[in-house]
Chains A and B, each alone.
Chain A
Amino acid sequence: MLYMILGTVLILFALGGAGLVMGQWSDRETVEGWIYAGSAAACGLNAALMVGFLVSGASGMEAAVPVGLPWLSARFRLDGLAAIFLLIVGTGGVLSALYGFAHRRHTQDPAWVAFFFPLFLGGMTLVPLADDAFSFLLSWELMSLASWFMVLASHQHHETRRAAIVYLVMAAIGTVAMMLAFGTLAGAAGGYSFEAMRGADISPWAGAMVVLFVLVGAGSKAGVVPLHAWLPLAHPAAPTHVSALMSGVMTKVALYAIIRVLFDLLPAVGWGWGLAMLAVGGLTAVLGVLYAVLQRDIKTVLAYSTVENIGVILTAIGLAVAFKASGYAALAGLSLVAGLFHAINHSLYKSLLFLGAGAVVSATGYRDLERLGGVIHRMPVTAATFLIGSAAIAALPPLNGFASEWLLFQALLNGPRLPEWALKLAVPVVGALLALATALASACFVRVFGITFLGRPRSPEAMMAKEAERGILVVLVVLAGACVILGVAPMMVLSIVSPVVETLMGAPPLADGGRGLLWMEPLAERDSSYSGLILLVAVMGMASLMFLVRRQASGRLSRSHAWDCGCPDPNPLTQYTASSFSQPIRRVFATTLFRAREDVEMPEPGDVSPARFTVSLYDPVWQWFYRPVTRVIGWVADKSDAAQLMSIREYLAIMFAALILLLTVMMVIR
């Protein structure tokens, strides 16, 4: 099975190469059609294989492929954890590829997007499979670079070029940190296979360094605050189906690296790291969604919302670390199951939202919310699926977002069992932060859905929008259906995720209540259980009840313009705008945090020029984190510039000093 997956990766690489060659003398549409169809088939096969692997509960399988460094062939290994993430990659890949396939006639992206797309998928497939540091880093870099080229698709825009530079720098920093992490793990003996790392005897200090490096390296790729700065710039800049992959899948692959190192490669991680991850995760969730709710660009909103969800998942991982360090293996497993479930769910609804937003953007030509509106009448299917995605991401029952967050809160509510006082105090605070983030996420997606699809069109393009191609609608409906199904029957996923977590933690994470697939019962003794189906039935019942009531009520239909208090104004600009909708949140939360300022510029009496209302926001992360760093780097570069222009004698003197220093060190150590 492992060889089959490696085979599909080879097919993906071959597709990229063939695309490059065929593009020279065949017409673009055909070539891209083949590339996307082939990618979809390869990813679909992978996803199906992974489902089979997880359901059968087969144990790990290994393969060594004689490529790479001569004394170290690339080693690959398929186990449960890798399979879960391969399933995410495969599912996200097949649906994005299908979107690309359906959209290829109308695409305005440069041809290289189709060339790098399969390479990107291949890289993401290899990362979870890698079983030594070299093949891991190589796949990791392939994933970064391929996505970087696709971010550059709209390179003619200045912002895109800036985003690409920031992305490249952050990716480089991340890879260096990962390298350092693996180097520390391998230790002086230099065992670079994961097998050797598992067995290595590592000192607590070195272990702490590894955790720090992994959190920086993989955290920057996943978008953890304050390393998230590239994400909301780069993810929206890529073509839609690539954005969906980057947000929905690539961030998960980064989380895979964190989970792999923290729970598999390292023997033990201190509870202090759990506390740190809880704090960072909670902060990431709240800041991410606060950023999201203030943005005007629909794709940027979605990218920031990815930051929020990464924060939620990181909280789950941090909680698992804390529980594991305190000896509560089952609760640690529950937290990790919640995290993995949320990762799967987020990959589904974030792909759905990005692809839906992409459909709207390509139909109207606008990413700015202030230019959209009323699209629901022109694109009903897109609107319905987008609504389901929004409800899922806002964690509304009975959808999958609620199921995973409910599970995470079950774990959080057991926080007081932790022995350390810092954790006892921190866990409820983080829980409150997550609750705040979820509430803000609801506001955010009410805003996105309402401003985009409801009300009246704010631009002629929005008024003339056409429903997306049938292929795209199929993709959206499939994703929306998956969100509903996983929400109604979460045990479908949990029953295959929990054995994997059990092998990592050594204890079954979910108590078996014996009530079948429809009931989710994490902790039998607490007797907290959740059934999506009952909620679904209840919601449906309420809806049909309301429908009946309306039918029985007065038959006189009164129709008025939306959001106009019944007093129609001919100008659609009198509606709520995206900015005005988020104004209360901006005033409450962003005034101190983001230093949000509203300036009203009134013309003099008698002056006919329009009044202007401007909102200014400062990003504290840029101001307090990145700017000092760049300033220090600039200062060091300025100072070390002198080293470029020394005389031969001075260079010799430096070497001499280094030699003397080393000799002295040698002497002292002996």
Chain B
Amino acid sequence: MSTLHYDIAHVLDGSVLLLGFLLLYQRRMFGLINIFAFQALGLALAAAWQAHVHGESHLYATALIALSVKAGIIPYALRRLIIHFGIHRTIDTALGIGPSLVAGATLVALSVMLVLPVTADSAALTREKLALALSTVLIGLLMMITRRNAITQVIGFMALENGLILAAVGVQGMPLVVEMGIAFEVMVAFIIFGIFFFHIRDRFESLDLQYLESHRGERR
């Protein structure tokens, strides 16, 4: 593989991680959804580049799924939901933006330091891809726990899943069936979350999960 191919793959993977950081930084709901769409776009490009370089045509299918579902349908549906339910368009944080970014940077450092020695005997590209993918997964998780709103949690979950796909794309020989399975799982999760939103909204007239906690009866 030429250096150029390597660098382009690196840039695309890095952009997915960078957009993950932007997700942490964003304070507005629509902006968050847009960034998520861009992240999915970056993922699709990374998958397509991998398919092009390695000649693995099934990765084109992965790229297509990422592009259509995660960069298209899901952001659109989320935006519809927000408008439909009249959800607050600011993001309520449990951990401030600054600390979140610091935590995110720490996680990236952790995953790099973890993955690079562990996979010392793998090809260089795979190693760095894995480190980037693991960072994206961890940042998605961080997002899920540092944001209060249900929509932000869904987006955190989707970002986590983007990281998984990124890892799957990087590791050669990941069967298409598994990727299809993951994509399908995301769809199901999205539908469940949608129904969940609908019901929470219906019951509490807000998507803030704090209201849910007060209704478990034992405390607060």
Name A's B-contacting residues (CB within 8 A).
Answer: 644-645, 647-649, 652-653, 656, 659-660, 663-664, 666-667, 670
Contacts of B191 in A (CB 8 A): none
Is B118 touching A653 in the complex (CB atoms < 8 A)?
no
CB-defined contacts of A647 to chain B, threshold 8 Å: 209-210, 212-213
Cβ contact within 8 Å between B110 and A659: no
B118 touches A645 (CB 8 A): no
The docked-state distance in angstroms from the alpha carbon of A645 to that of B153 is 20
Docked complex Cα distance between A328 and B17 (Å): 69
Cα–Cα distance between A648 and B117 once the two chains are bound (Å): 34
State whether B113 touches A667 (Cβ < 8 A): yes
Q: Which residues of A contact B117 (CB under 8 A)?
A: 667, 670
A659-B118 CB under 8 A given contacts A645-B218, A647-B210, A667-B110: no
Contact A656 B218 (CB under 8 A): no
Cα(A445)–Cα(B31), bound, Å:
88
Q: Which residues from chain B contact A644 at a C-beta distance below 8 Å?
A: 218
- With A663-B114, A664-B110 already in contact, the answer to whether A649 and B145 are too (CB < 8 A) is yes
B136 within 8 A of A: no
How near does chain A come to B207, taking the closest CB pair, in angstroms?
Answer: 13
Query: In the complex, are the beta carbons of B110 and A656 less than 8 A apart?
Result: no
- Minimum distance in angstroms from A599 CB to a CB of chain B: 47
Report which B residues bind A (CB closer than 8 A): 94, 107, 110-111, 113-114, 117-118, 138, 141-142, 144-145, 148, 153, 209-210, 212-213, 216, 218-220
| Closest CB pairs A-B (n = 4) | A653-B145, A667-B114, A652-B145, A645-B219
Whether B216 and A645, one on each chain, are in contact in the complex, defined by CB atoms closer than 8 angstroms, is yes
Asked if B141 contacts A663 (CB within 8 A), the reply is: no
A670→B114 CA distance, assembly (Å): 8
A669 nearest CB across to chain B (Å): 10
Kindly list chain B residues whose C-beta atoms are within 8 Å of the C-beta of A656. 141-142, 144-145
Q: What are 25 contact pairs spanning A and B, CB under 8 A?
A: A644-B218, A645-B216, A645-B219, A647-B209, A647-B210, A647-B213, A648-B209, A648-B212, A649-B94, A652-B141, A652-B144, A652-B145, A653-B145, A656-B144, A659-B138, A659-B141, A660-B107, A660-B138, A663-B110, A666-B114, A666-B118, A667-B113, A667-B114, A670-B114, A670-B118
A270 to B44, CA, bound (A): 64
Docked CA distance A647–B219 (Å): 11
In angstroms, how far is the closest chain A Cβ from the Cβ of B31?
A: 22
Interface centre among B94, B117, B145 (most CB of A within 10 A): B145
Cα-based distance from A645 to B218 in the complex (angstroms): 8
Per the bound structure, the CA–CA distance linking A666 and B115 in Å amounts to 10
How many Å lie between the Cα of A595 and that of B13 in the bound state? Answer: 75
Q: How far is the CB of B116 from chain A (nearest CB, A)?
A: 10
Chain A contacts of B219 at CB under 8 A? 645
A362 to B144, CA, bound (A): 70
A645: chain B residues within 8 A (beta carbon): 216, 218-220
Q: Can you name the residue of chain B whose Cβ is closest to the Cβ of A646?
A: B213
CB nearest neighbor in A for B148:
A649
Residue of B nearest to A670 (CB): B117
What are the residues of chain B within 8 A of A663 when measuring CB–CB? Answer: 110-111, 114
